[in-house]
Amino acid sequence: MTPIEQSIIDRIRIEGPITFEAFMGMALYQPELGYYSSPQTTIGSDGDFYTSPHLHPVFGAVIGRQLMEMWMLMGKPSSFHAVEIGAGVGYLSSDILNYLLKHSEDHSTAQDRNSFLSSLRYVIVEPYDHFQAKQKALLKDRKISWVKSVKELKDIKGCIFSNELLDAFPVHIVEIDDGLKEVYVTYVRDNFEEKLDDISTPDLLHYINQQHIELPSGYRTEINLQTRRWLEEINKALTRGFLLTIDYGYTAREYFSSDRTKGTLLCYHKHLFNENPYQHIGEQDITAHVNYSSLKIWGEELGLKTIGYCPQGTFLVAAGINEVITELYADSPDYFSEISKIKGLIVPQGMGESHSIMVQYKGEGRPKLRGFSMRNNSGSL
């Protein structure tokens, strides 16, 4: 019996069966014991999974160019916030800043980059000291500030962005069984077990109705209500600018299709995935795909306009990844080797299709980003 398992069992004994959302929240975020809150957690090739910045630094270079385009669209303000939420060990931040500081295509672009860097206020939102220590070690020569929570952010003008953040928000699991029922976790005969009972909050039924979802008997899926609360915090912090979300997920039509009768919940342990959240508790990641349609609906209720949504590969190509590759590696003897690595970011068989990018905007008008010039799916959400 591990300390995190004992902590969950103790809560069940006091409260009775707990929602899966509560179980997932403890498994991932229980102070000092959860998967992300534990100092022992490692992300990357030596951990349980890797993200796009681990695959190749060109990803960060394109995001850096995207931030500068946003700055230009906002009229080149003298102060532009780039706020990264959940930076892991800091690879994306490092790649963004390294690119902007060290590379320029021509004189006019170099002037813009110098002006942009002068205006840039880079902030990382990181609640955990062990991740923050790794970030500070990697980014020790960079001008960056840290906060523990989005709630600490005030009067942000610029871009708030995240990469593979929302998929790790704890989710409710529901199932259609003579109406909408919710999955609860209990502990019986030395095992964690699930049971169906009435939903814990009417917000779950509202979620189903709001998205016009009709599910057959036996259908099981996840509902991420924490995303709305997160958007509310973002909206309070963001005075004017962009919210850029990168994650794996689907539109509601795809999310609740007949191909996904058991939902999207997956666990990652030592780069292998499984569908059992009740093993390796506190030592494996638990994720659920993002419902981008809910992100759009809730965002627009708050005044965040969806200005673009498409697969990551499509976005990177439209945003000029080929130009970045030429800029960085055209004269490199490792050019073809780099291209081989970069393909994983854009090809349909890899993160190019599994991951999507959504940009929402707060302010007047509807800015057009280059990354959505090839294909803009925001209307189909």
Over 70: is that where the pLDDT of 133 sits?
Answer: yes
Over 90: is that where the pLDDT of 80 sits?
Answer: yes
- Predicted structure pTM score: 0.93
Do residues 169 and 224 touch, judged by C-beta distance below 8 A?
yes
Residue 239 confidence (pLDDT): 98
What's the pLDDT band for 381 if we cut at 50, 70, 90? confident
Q: Could you give the CA distance from residue 268 to residue 33 in angstroms, rounded to a whole number?
A: 17
Percent of the chain scored above 70 by pLDDT? 94
Over 70: is that where the pLDDT of 43 sits?
Answer: no
In 3D space, the residue among 46, 50, 28 whose CA is nearest the CA of residue 37 turns out to be 28
Over 70: is that where the pLDDT of 321 sits?
Answer: yes
Residue 19 confidence (pLDDT): 98
**Mean pLDDT value across residues 243-248:** 97
Residue 118: burial class (beta carbons within 10 Å; 0-12, 13-18, 19+): exposed
Residue 379 confidence (pLDDT): 46
**Mean pLDDT value across residues 338-343:** 81
Which has the minimum average pLDDT: 6-10, 190-194, 239-243, 332-336?
Answer: 332-336
**Mean pLDDT value across residues 317-339:** 85
Q: What DSSP string runs through 23-78? A: HHHHHHHSTTTSTTTSTT---STTSS---HHHH-THHHHHHHHHHHHHHHHTT--S
Report all structural domains of the chain as residue ranges with CATH numbers, in order of start: 3-372 (3.40.50.12710)
Residue 372 confidence (pLDDT): 96
Over 60: is that where the pLDDT of 369 sits?
Answer: yes
Contacts of 93 (CB under 8 A, 6+ apart): 60, 84, 87, 122, 124, 135, 138, 139, 142, 144
Over 60: is that where the pLDDT of 172 sits?
Answer: yes
Q: Cβ–Cβ contacts within 10 Å for residue 267, how many? A: 21
